[in-house]
Structure 1
Amino acid sequence: MLTHPTIDQLVKLGLAGMARAFTELQDNQSATALGHAEWLALLLDREATERSNRQLTARLRHARLRQRATIEDIDWRSPRGLDRTLMQRLIAGDWIDVPHNLIIEGPTGVGKSWLACALGNKACRDNRSVLYQRLPKLFAELALARGDGRHRKLMKRLGKVRLLILDDWGLEAFASEQRRDLLEIVEERYGRGSLLITSQIPVDRWHDIIGEPTIADAILDRIVHNAHHLKLKGDSLRRKLATPQPAA
């Protein structure tokens, strides 16, 4: 008798998960044996689960991860120099809370971007905010934003997230405005949020790629000294996947 008014009230209060659970329990004959406290516990658990799932969906949407990668799918068998002990620490995510940075270095095709997205996915699942950006595209967006008045807003967005992923670092030398933007990003995030950087270029060559020595010193001082370093090696996984396999 109270089914519909109760459901309507739950929905009005924004408790859609509880409303759905209430309907399912009403239709479940075995639920008649449950006491009031058990009913309430089941309703609350359903509401909490649905809210958590909605929040995760929102975090993943905001993160804009380039690849649908998860840590459960990491291929430990490929000979690319994955340090399993370090990876387990990185997967736990405490380095994001400190905050520290992470540099994933290695030749093209060894899975740098994929691992970055997998760690970003795990951070989202652990209730941490994440944003993925390819650095060349980010520099282009910042240049446009400077012209149409969105620059400050975009820089603020880059500074707020707990983990900012900068993919494809150093594909070409940085221009003057790019150096200044990068310095502002790392300065804003220093001590407040973590950076995850992927690069084909060894760290000892970053200074030359950044350019202006004084700015390069300032940028690298805020990135490298508190960074975990994951060096990958081996042949391109893309090439392996694209190579036809011999018939059995």
Structure 2
Amino acid sequence: MLRHPTLTALEAMKLTGMATALAEQLEMPEVQRLSFEERLGLLVDRECTVRDNHRLARRLAQARFPGSATLEDLDYRHPRGLEKSVIASLATGQWIRQHDNVLIVGPTGAGKTYLACALAQMACRLGCSALYLRLPRFFRELAVAKGDGRYGRLLRSLAKTDLVVLDDWGLAPLTDEQRRDLLELLDDRHGRRATLVASQLPIDHWHTAIGEPTLADAILDRLVHNAYKITLKGESMRKRLAKSDGSRPLKTDH
């Protein structure tokens, strides 16, 4: 008589993991041989797992990744500047906890976006918040936010995000307003949060690409000096994959 009300009560309290686990236990006679503490422990473990999975799914959705990317699926078969020891070190997330940065540079198709998203996906799995931004589109979003009054709120939200990925850095010349927006973003994050930048431009060209020397100095001072640097090389992964299977080039490489 108490079984159905107990399940209903667990679901009403949004303890769906425990409710599911209890329903499964009731269908497994062998579970009756376990002690009360052991059965309760199994229920609590399931609830914790369900909640962890829900939180991870929410972090991944909020990160707005352009595709699915994981460190486990990185392709090390072709020499392109990927060092397993460096990736293994970054996979621990210690650089995020220490509020360091990662800078990934390389030619088109070398795997910059995939690696950036894979590192950010690992950050989500470690319990950190992340957000992927294409810099040209982000500047347009900021301009709109200034017009409708969301600018300050948007910057505050970004300042609280554990890891922000800035992709397509240096793709187009910056306006003075964009330089100041970029400095505002990085100043809020410097020493407080981690930032990952992916760019086709070599790092020693960034100062020229940013433009105005004083602002360029300030921006790079907050970005480069406490950063891990990864330089990818070689033929486009998209072209290589297309050659290997005869298909069209993929949007996301690894």
* TM-score, reference length from structure 2: 0.94
How far the C-alpha of 1:245 sits from its partner, in A, is: 5.3
Matched with 1:149 is 149
Residue-by-residue CA offset, 1:34-68 (whole Å, 9 max, x unaligned): 11011101100000000000000000000111120
Structure 2: state its 5+ residue gaps: 247-254
Q: From the superposition, tell whether residues 133 and 236 of structure 1 become closer, same or farther in structure 2 (CA, over 3 Å).
A: same
- Tell me the SS of whatever aligns to 2:222: helix
Matched with 2:166 is 166
**Rounded Cα–Cα distance in structure 2 between residues aligned with 1:11 and 1:243:** 52
Number of residue pairs matched by the alignment: 246
Matched with 1:230 is 230
Letter in 1 for 2:39: W
Matched ranges for 1:189-228 at <5 A: 189-228=189-228
Q: Which deviates more from structure 2 when the two are superposed, residues 205-214 or residues 220-229?
A: 205-214
Question: CA-atom RMSD, angstroms?
Answer: 1.1
Letter in 1 for 2:219: I
Letter in 2 for 1:177: E
Q: Which deviates more from structure 2 when the two are superposed, residues 73-82 or residues 44-53?
A: 73-82
- Tell me the SS of whatever aligns to 2:128: coil
Matched with 1:114 is 114
Matched with 2:91 is 91
Residue-by-residue CA offset, 1:147-198 (whole Å, 9 max, x unaligned): 1111112111211110000001000111111001000000000111000000
**Rounded Cα–Cα distance in structure 1 between residues aligned with 2:85 and 2:241:** 27
Letter in 2 for 1:116: A
Matched with 2:250 is none
Structure 1: state its 5+ residue gaps: none
* TM-score, reference length from structure 1: 0.97
> Identity of counterpart residues, as a percentage?
50
**Rounded Cα–Cα distance in structure 2 between residues aligned with 1:84 and 1:244:** 24
- Tell me the SS of whatever aligns to 1:197: strand
Q: Which deviates more from structure 2 when the two are superposed, residues 17-26 or residues 81-90?
A: 81-90
